[in-house]
């Protein structure tokens, strides 16, 4: 049962391509400690993935892989609600109502839309543009107060806030107005090849991205090749805006090893980049290995995953139905006779 006395948290990841270390450090990892104090919903947002072309069989596989990954990363389905977005039809229905509240102008200004439209110039579909409205619907449907995401999603959460405030003032108080929860050092993990850009699932350069399924050899190889800096004091491991590559690796090291950035700077003083990169690789491998083993074990137990998803969808639907019928009533739709 959802605990109505606790504040609610909602977040999700798209089952598109391979989940990255950025997704883990910026989002999923930060969800697990919230489960104690908040009423949490974690969603595999498959409808969002359709905004770029997918191979149907791959999308199905990625969706189950991601479900298992959530659990392997510490999401406890007996505590939190874990479900697949398309299993709760209210997401798409509320999105339609919110479409009538969101403005084309504000959707046109979304950085991610502009970026994706550039990268998928042959497929600028309406879904791509409407995507932040569907995301607002995910959040508002559950009256979620806190949204733990990485920096790249802040603009979308702000739009969800704007839509909630606008709806509330037009139709009277209906939605909780959500806010972002950002991790201090993990909210923007950068590409290993272009350390001023974010590490992204869709990066065509495999060396730029550590995937959560990478084996230890791949992790070591990618980190050895990670772009660093050639400033005057090259080989000095320091967190510095002028050293974006090393700063990014320091963040990754700190998050994976538990050593603070300041202590890590001291630890690697005078040691050079080679030694540092090996230590980063060891720290990343030690985080990934248990997750990979647990994900594999869970994927072999299809019955368990199906039960989790069935129960998750039922628990999510119960909340979603309540919000949607309230919204339908507020906007003036005649209730269905049951």
Residues annotated catalytic, as ranges:
116, 198, 201
222 binds ligand TYM (CB under 6 A): no
**Does residue 189 belong to the site contacting ligand TYM (CB under 6 A)?**
yes
Q: How many residues does the chain have?
A: 338
List, edge to edge, every strand of the sheet that includes 146-148. Answer: 81-84, 39-44, 8-13, 146-148, 179-181
- Residue 227 interacting with ligand TYM (CB under 6 A): no
Give 175: exposed, middle or buried? Use CB within 10 Å, 0-12, 13-18, 19+.
Answer: buried
- Given candidates 52, 98, 102, 139, which one binds ligand TYM under the rule CB under 6 A? 139
Beta carbons of 33 and 154 less than 8 angstroms apart: no
Contact pattern for ligand TYM over residues 25 through 64, marking x by CB under 6 A: -xx-----------------x--x----------------
Q: Which of 40, 149, 279, 309 binds ligand TYM (CB under 6 A)?
A: 149
Residue 323 interacting with ligand TYM (CB under 6 A):
no
Please tell me whether residue 244 binds ligand TYM under the rule CB under 6 A. Answer: no
Q: Which of 9, 12, 285, 327 binds ligand TYM (CB under 6 A)?
A: 12
- How far apart are the C-alpha atoms of 156 and 170, rounded to whole Å? 21
Question: Is residue 140 close enough to count as binding ligand TYM by CB under 6 A?
Answer: no
What the block records as the tokens of 263 is: 């202590």
Displacement of CA 102 from its chain's centroid (Å): 23
Alpha carbon 264 to its chain's center: 27
Closest to ligand TYM by CB, 180 vs 236, is 180
Task: Output 48 or 315, the one with its CB closest to ligand TYM.
Answer: 48
Q: For residues 215 and 228, give the distance between their C-alpha atoms in angstroms, rounded to a whole number.
A: 22
Backbone angles phi, psi at 181, to 5 degrees: -120, 115
| Interface with ligand TYM, residue 14, by CB under 6 A | yes
Rounded Cα gap, residues 167 and 161, in angstroms: 10
CB of 21 to ligand TYM, least distance (A): 8
Binding site for ligand TYM (CB under 6 A): 10-14, 22-23, 26-27, 45, 48, 135, 138-139, 147, 149-150, 152-153, 156, 186-189, 198-199
């Amino acid at each position: 049962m959802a605990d109505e006395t606790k504040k609610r948290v909602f977040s999700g990841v798209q089952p598109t391509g391979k989940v990255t270390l950025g997704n883990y450090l910026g989002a999923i990892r930060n969800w697990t400690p919230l489960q104690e104090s908040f009423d949490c919903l974690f969603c595999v947002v498959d409808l969002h993935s359709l905004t770029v072309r997918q191979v149907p069989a791959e999308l199905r596989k990625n969706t189950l892989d991601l479900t298992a990954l959530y659990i392997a990363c510490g999401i406890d389905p007996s505590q939190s609600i874990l479900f697949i977005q398309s299993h709760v039809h209210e997401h798409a229905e509320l999105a339609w109502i919110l479409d009538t509240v969101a403005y084309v102008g504000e959707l046109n200004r979304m950085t991610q839309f502009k970026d994706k439209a550039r990268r998928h110039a042959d497929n600028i579909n309406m879904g791509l543009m409407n995507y932040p409205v569907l995301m607002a619907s995910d959040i508002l449907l559950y009256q979620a107060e806190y949204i733990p995401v990485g920096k790249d999603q802040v603009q979308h959460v702000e739009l969800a806030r704007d839509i909630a405030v606008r709806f509330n003032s037009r139709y009277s108080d209906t939605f909780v107005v959500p806010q972002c929860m950002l991790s201090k050092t993990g909210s923007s993990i950068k590409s290993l090849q272009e350390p001023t850009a974010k590490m992204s699932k869709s990066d065509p350069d495999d060396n730029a991205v550590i995937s959560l399924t990478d084996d230890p050899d791949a992790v070591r190889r990618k980190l050895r090749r990670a772009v660093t800096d050639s400033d005057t004091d090259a080989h000095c491991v320091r967190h510095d805006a002028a050293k974006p590559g090393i700063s990014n690796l320091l963040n990754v090291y700190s998050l994976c090893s538990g050593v603070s950035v300041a202590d890590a700077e001291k630890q690697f003083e005078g040691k050079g980049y080679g030694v540092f990169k090996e230590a980063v690789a060891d720290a990343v491998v030690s985080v990934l290995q248990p997750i990979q083993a647990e994900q594999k074990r869970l994927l072999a137990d299809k019955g368990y995953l199906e039960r989790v998803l069935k129960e998750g969808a039922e628990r999510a639907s119960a909340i979603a139905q309540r919000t949607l019928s309230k919204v339908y009533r507020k906007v003036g739709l005649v209730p269905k006779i049951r």
